[in-house]
Amino acid sequence: MNKDIKVTMMGLGYIGLPTAALIASQKIQVTGVDINAQVIETVNKGEIHIIEPDLEGLVKYTVEKGYLRARLDVVASDVYLIAVPTPFKDNHVPDISYVQAAIQHIIPLLKAEDLVIIESTSPVGTTEKMLELIGHTRPEIVEQVHLAYCPERVLPGKIIYELERNDRVIGGINEVATQKAIEFYQLFVKGTLHKTNARTAEMCKLVENSSRDVNIAFANELSLICDKAAINVWELINLANRHPRVNILQPGPGVGGHCIAVDPWFIVHDFPKEAQMISQARNINNYKTEWVIEKVKNAALEFELNHQRKPLVACLGLTFKPNIDDLRESPAKYIADSLFQQGLNLLFVEPNIESYNEQPLTSPKEAIQKADLIVLLVAHQKFQTLKAQLLTTEARVLDFCGFTHQSK
């Protein structure tokens, strides 16, 4: 496949926009489609609506050179990439309605030899369902369209680097579709491209994040045990990891983000009897978040009994992981919101965003100076300069992310 093709990216979010910009940087014509008019306007000015290192310069360059443009409506192309959300509904039922809607928008434009690739995390069998959807509407074209699944596997904060260099798993609906997709990704991916079928590729993404969730659950369960046993869990893990074949992860206030907190439920929903460990890991990580809330409430009650007034509580960090602006499925955000709704006097501290709902944001330095209770939820790099202040403050510090235990 040569670069003289037209590509449409359905969805310009945390994955869609970086992927579209990376493809466009290879002098390939890319049209990004999104339902948010403000996103379209922002991108077409060469600007970005998310925080991600190296992305702004890449978008600015590709827009100015005319290789990337954004629109509200879909245009005919040779390759269509689907990078839209796949959340879950009540009872953790996977919601693939956004993927279906994206496919329905491109169906009228499909022609023979077009390549359609789903990148959105999806339950096993989704790619086959989308082929059926195309066949129902365009039976005359369905056998001439190549459909494949290729999940992203990137780390926020390093998305551009990892989109280009990470290995990719690519599974087509048949061998021809797989090969077509491989040829396309070879245009902009330096990592190794691994061939498989669509079902295996779909499950691969779910398994990768479920594995991480299980390992985090072990660390979080350890933190609960150590709290009850009066053991410093951070010291314990550091010592246990001295074993040459042990690598325990770090506990936290829960698990968030658009992948690890969501993807395991896709497996649990489809395989409820078999996915026992995966299901329990999800429950442990969700419980850890509720446990943190109770610990903070108890500390606040103790302060109130001792000082005859309610404490001022500073929640440091709202994003789902350090050094990003992403609040999706964030346990820190959930904790802060829950504490506020339950009547605690709260300071919201998040240096990576400019506004938060209708609540004012407090600077980290001011929050530490004013607060009676300091709740560390996310170990942002921007908090590093305040570590000495945190270690010497008269306020009570509740560290749920290991920030004060990190090596200097």
Residue 210 in domain: no
Q: Which helix (H) or strand (E) holds 44?
A: helix 37-44
Amino acid letter, residue 311: P
Rounded distance, CA 326 to CA 350, Å?
11
Residue 208 in domain: no
225 lies in the same domain as 92: no
pLDDT at 153 (0 to 100)? 86
Residue 276 in domain: yes
- Non-local (6+) Cβ contacts of 405 within 8 A are 232, 234, 235, 399
Structure tokens at 407: 């090596």
132 lies in the same domain as 259: no
184 lies in the same domain as 258: no
Structure tokens at 22: 């990376």
Residue 213 in domain: no
Q: Please, is 112 exposed, middle or buried when counting C-beta atoms within 10 Å of its C-beta (0-12, 13-18, 19+)? A: exposed
Rounded distance, CA 340 to CA 139, Å?
54
Rounded distance, CA 308 to CA 287, Å?
31
66 lies in the same domain as 187: yes
Dihedral of alpha carbons 274, 276, 279, 282, sign: negative
55 lies in the same domain as 139: yes
Tell me how many domains the chain contains: 2
Domain with residue 157: its CATH number is: 3.40.50.720
- Non-local (6+) Cβ contacts of 306 within 8 A are none
Q: Across the beta sheet with 345-349, what order do the strands follow?
A: 345-349, 312-316, 373-376, 396-399
Rounded distance, CA 8 to CA 82, Å?
9
82 lies in the same domain as 156: yes
Detail the DSSP E strand segments found in 157-297: 168-172, 193-197
pLDDT at 144 (0 to 100)? 97
How far from 398 is each of 16, 293, 313, CA to CA, in Å? 37, 11, 10
Q: Which helix (H) or strand (E) holds 216?
A: helix 198-229
3-state secondary structure of 4: coil
263 lies in the same domain as 175: no
235 lies in the same domain as 366: yes
pTM assigned to the model: 0.90
User: Cβ distance 376 to 317 under 8 Å?
Assistant: yes
pLDDT at 407 (0 to 100)? 55
- Non-local (6+) Cβ contacts of 28 within 8 A are 3, 5, 7, 67, 187, 188
Residue 1 in domain: no
92 lies in the same domain as 227: no
Could you list the active site residues? 205, 259
> Closest Cα to residue 127, out of 148, 105, 98?
148
pLDDT at 33 (0 to 100)? 98
184 lies in the same domain as 223: no
pLDDT at 89 (0 to 100)? 86
Rounded distance, CA 92 to CA 268, Å?
9
Phi and psi torsions of 14, nearest 5° = -65, -25
Per-residue pLDDT of the chain (408 residues; tens, 9 = 90+): 888 999 999 999 999 999 999 999 999 999 999 999 999 999 999 999 988 889 999 999 999 999 999 999 999 999 999 999 998 888 889 999 999 999 999 999 999 999 999 999 999 999 999 999 999 999 999 999 999 999 998 888 899 999 999 999 999 999 999 999 999 999 999 999 999 999 999 999 999 999 999 999 999 999 999 999 999 999 999 999 999 999 999 999 999 987 898 999 999 999 999 999 999 999 999 999 999 999 999 999 999 999 999 999 999 999 999 988 889 889 999 999 999 999 999 999 999 998 998 889 999 999 999 999 999 999 999 999 888 888 888 999 999 999 988 654
Provide the domain limits for residue 143: 6-191
Residue 321 in domain: yes
Residue 254 in domain: yes
First to last CA, the chain: 50
144 lies in the same domain as 270: no
52 lies in the same domain as 169: yes
DSSP string, 77-139: -SEEEE-----B-GGG-B--HHHHHHHHHHGGG--TT-EEEE-S---TTHHHHHHHHHHHH-T
Q: What share of the chain is helix, strand, coil (3-state, %, to 5)?
A: 45, 15, 40
Rounded distance, CA 127 to CA 107, Å?
14
Residue 203 in domain: no
